[in-house]
Amino acid sequence: MNPDSPAPSRKFKIIHRDSFCLAAHKPCGIPTYRESRGGNAPGLKELLEDQLNQRLFPVHRIDADTSGLVLFALDPKSAAAFTRLFKEHKVKKTYHAWCSGEVPAKGIIRTPLKKNKSDETESARTDFSRLKTSKGFSLVEVHPHTGRFHQIRRHFESMGHALAGDPLYGNPDAWKPFFKGPVRLMLQASMLEFIHPFSRKPVRIKTKEPL
C-alpha cells in the first residue's frame, strides 16, 4: 500500500482483468494518476493500488473531468506493449457525450487544434453520430482518431455544440436546464477495442456505468 495515499472511501469497479492488464471505471472529478499540479491528490492509479494492494502501470489517461474506462498494465513489460498500442493508434476508443443543441445525424470534425499552451496547431479528427435528442440536447457517440488536448470538448465547442457541464468550453446559461442534480462534464470513455498484444485475440471492454 502506498503510505502517501489515503485509504479509498469507495470501491472502484474493475471492468476487465487478465494476466497483463486491468480496466477500471474512473468517476468524474479525479485524475487518472497523481499530478503535482493538481495539489498532489491521489488519482485513480493510486487509489486502485490501495484497493487492490497491487502496483499498476498507467498506459494512457483521460481528463479528470471525464468519466469512464482507464486501462492499466500489471507489469513493466506489459506497460510497454499497451503504451505502444495507444501511441500507434491501434486502440479504438468510443466516447459518449451530451452536448447543447441538436447536432447533425453524423459527421466528421477536422478542425485543427492548437497545442496545449502553444499557438502551433495540429491536425485532428473526431467522428460522431447522434443517438438521440432530448429537451434541446443531443446524446452523441464519438470516435476520436487523434489524441489532441481536450479534443472532443474543443471540437464540439467549435461546432457551437459545447458539451453539457463543460467548465472550460461550455456556457452555463445554455446547459443549466440539462441538470437536475450536481453539474458535471457529460463525457464518458465508454469502450476500448484492440488486439491483445500477448494473446493476439480481439478485446472489447465496455463500461455499463450510466453517463
- Provide the pLDDT for residue 5: 43
Q: How far apart are CA 25 and CA 68, in angstroms?
A: 5
- Provide the pLDDT for residue 38: 55
- pLDDT tens-digit readout, 138-161: 999 999 999 999 999 999 999 999
- pLDDT tens-digit readout, 122-139: 999 999 999 999 999 999
Burial of 180 (0-12, 13-18, 19+ CB in 10 A): exposed
- Provide the pLDDT for residue 209: 93
- Provide the pLDDT for residue 126: 98
- Provide the pLDDT for residue 170: 94
- Provide the pLDDT for residue 8: 46
Give the percent of the chain with pLDDT over 70. 94
| Residues designated as active site | 63
- pLDDT tens-digit readout, 26-84: 999 999 998 755 567 889 999 999 999 999 999 999 999 999 999 999 999 999 999 99
Instruction: Provide the b/e sequence for 193-210 (b: ≥16 CB within 10 Å).
Output: ebeebeeeeebebebeee
Return the number of other C-beta atoms located less than 10 Å from residue 54's C-beta: 12
**Phi then psi for 153, rounded to 5 degrees?**
-65, -45
Model confidence at 3: pLDDT above 50:
no
8-state DSSP, 33:
S
Q: For the chain, which domains are there?
A: 14-91 (3.30.70.580), 93-187 (3.30.2350.10)
